[in-house]
Structure 1
């Protein structure tokens, strides 16, 4: 009969270095890092209050739960931290990295995206928000074309899901960063 007790090598995995640093950072430093992930103070406060996180998945779960609790005003605050697609925030490597799919877009596609962004913003009162990582310019254009006919309520929930995806990508960078790496 074999023993079912775990062996010493079956211990819980060690938290990634970046997650350990985030867990032990002073509140001001952690708050600043969270603000770079998501501009919503309510979201950041919820994440900050639940430290420490044993795993990156636990951090993601907390992020998802906090995102689900955001009010319309909280979502508006979060969206205000995102530049329009096709116009990454100057000097912001995360913005440029996430919108890489527009970097090589033709002038015609860039002009079309500007027009669509303006129409979207006119209708909904905020920038078109999509998790752009890994998407081509054409895919983003097609998404805005499809979403512009949504109701404000439908679009608010799509934006909530897209923000959640973006937050997970950005949180994973925090969790995985080795000391001295640039975010």
Structure 2
């Protein structure tokens, strides 16, 4: 990936309030945003992504819930939210029956785990997301928490890369 040092430098130079606002758009966990901010300045893109990985590893279950609160239900991207719609592009134009199955599987997952099904949806089809949802439903809470942590890290990596590439 091409490095955009200006974007990285601008991000690192942002004042605390501005940086927090930017980071909370990437991930809605205040603890994650604080950990990323504390890791600055980042020497390069890889250092920022390493900070994301370290921050994700340190989040508690409650912090992960904060992070998940910023994500739309799979199959129902937030209308007017370009990030949500882009990340869930794989559901556009899909058969209504698949969307209904996604809705039912989401409801069962949420009833079991108490939070939305979270997956890095970028590049995935609706059928693929439905299959993953069904595959993960039998997991216990501890296993699912660690899978969610990994999926959030992937999503944050994509969002951070996009932020750096936007300049």
Q: TM-score, normalised by structure 2?
A: 0.96
Corresponding residue number in structure 1 for 2:119? 130
Gaps of at least 5 residues in structure 1 are 1-12, 179-183
1:62 equivalenced with 2:43 (yes/no): no
Corresponding position of 2:130: 141
If you compute each CA radius of gyration, which structure gives the higher value, 1 or 2? 1
Alignment partner of 1:29 is 2:15: no
How far apart are residue 14 of structure 1 and its match?
Answer: 6.8
The within-5 A match list for 1:13-24 is: 15-24=4-13
Change (3 A) 1:20 1:124: same
Of 80, 84, 90 in structure 2, the residue corresponding to residue 101 of structure 1 is 90
Distance in 1, Cα, partners of 2:113 & 2:136: 11
Partners of 1:16 and 1:112 in 2: how far apart? Answer: 44
Q: Which runs of 5+ in 2 are unaligned?
A: none
CA RMSD, aligned part only? 1.2
Residue from 44, 49, 57 that aligns with 2:33: 44
TM-score, reference length from structure 1: 0.88
Greater helix share, 1 or 2? 2
Residues 105-120 of structure 1 aligned to structure 2 (within 5 Å): 105-120=94-109
| 1:27-47 Cα deviation digits (max 9, x unpaired) | 111111100110110000000
Residue equivalent to 2:110: 121
In 2, Cα distance between the equivalents of 1:159 and 1:64? 13
C-alpha contact (below 8 Å) 2:4/2:165 kept by paired residues = no
Cα distance in 1 between the residues matched to 2:36 and 2:60: 16
Q: Distance in 1 between matches of 2:13 and 2:104?
A: 45
Deviation at 1:15, TM superposition (A): 4.6
1:16, distance to aligned residue in structure 2 (A): 2.9
Give the CA deviation at 1:52.
Answer: 1.2
Q: Which moved more, 1:105-114 or 1:19-28?
A: 19-28
1:49 is displaced (CA, Å) by: 1.1
Aligned partner of 1:88 among 77, 88, 91:
77
